[in-house]
Chains A and B, each alone.
Chain A
Amino acid sequence: AQSVTQPDIHITVSEGASLELRCNYSYGATPYLFWYVQSPGQGLQLLLKYFSGDTLVQGIKGFEAEFKRSQSSFNLRKPSVHWSDAAEYFCAVGAGTGTASKLTFGTGTRLQVTL
């Protein structure tokens, strides 16, 4: 069975500083990986996804993530954080790319941004 680990429950960064959120996955086949963001009282918004090809993927809001198969990781990065980035971030792995593919989520990392 697939699983996702987000080691950092809570991270605080200063506005303008760089950010890296860690994600490790466990899956027996080719993983399909996602990062979602959830603001308070809101649903999940997709930041980026990796299905195949280039291991460095670009997403919305200036985020990027790098798939490293040897480390079973898919860390999320942003060069300069904005106060509006404060939210909960979830890494997820899908069992496939088809419409039936369900997602397994990590427990999330709460990002706090100080001004």
Chain B
Amino acid sequence: GAGVSQSPRYKVAKRGQDVALRCDPISGHVSLFWYQQALGQGPEFLTYFQNEAQLDKSGLPSDRFFAERPEGSVSTLKIQRTQQEDSAVYLCASRERGLNTEAFFGQGTRLTVV
């Protein structure tokens, strides 16, 4: 596609519910990142994939957060037993192989936990 696509754009979940957020990166981009952006804050790194390998998950806030990219393209961020503090915009970004390349961001998924 022309850009990074994320779905759904908006998600309302009841506390305790599981959610899955999808990211379609730009075709051919090997690197994929997930960021969490709380209201009024800058994005914060969650996790990084190179192709299908999850090489860095140091930013995941708890073991309720899980991400996968099984075929090296589409990625899913799953949050189990959602809590109110999980409410945020979740941004996905992808980069092509090489140095000095730009990260392209999707429009994000706004998650509201009620």
Chain A residues near B (Cβ < 8 Å): 4, 36, 41-46, 49, 51, 90, 92, 97-100, 102-108
Q: Compute how far the CA of A52 lies from the CA of B97 in the bound complex, rounded to whole angstroms.
A: 19
Fill in one digit per residue for B9-40: 1 if any A CB lies within 8 Å of its CB, else 0.
Answer: 00000000000000000000011010100001
Q: Number of residues in B with C-beta < 8 Å to the partner? A: 32
> What are 17 pairs between A and B in contact, CB < 8 Å?
A4-B42, A41-B107, A43-B106, A43-B108, A44-B91, A90-B43, A92-B42, A99-B95, A99-B98, A100-B56, A102-B45, A102-B48, A102-B56, A103-B43, A103-B103, A105-B42, A108-B40
Q: Compute how far the CA of A94 lies from the CA of B41 in the bound complex, rounded to whole angstroms.
A: 18
Known: A42-B107, A105-B42. 17 other contacts (CB 8 A): A4-B42, A41-B107, A43-B91, A43-B106, A44-B91, A44-B105, A90-B42, A92-B42, A97-B100, A98-B99, A99-B95, A99-B96, A102-B33, A102-B45, A103-B35, A103-B103, A105-B44
- A99 and B106 form a contact (CB under 8 A): no
- A99 and B43 form a contact (CB under 8 A): no
- B4 and A108 form a contact (CB under 8 A): no
| Identity of the chain B residue whose Cβ is nearest the Cβ of A99 in the assembled complex | B31
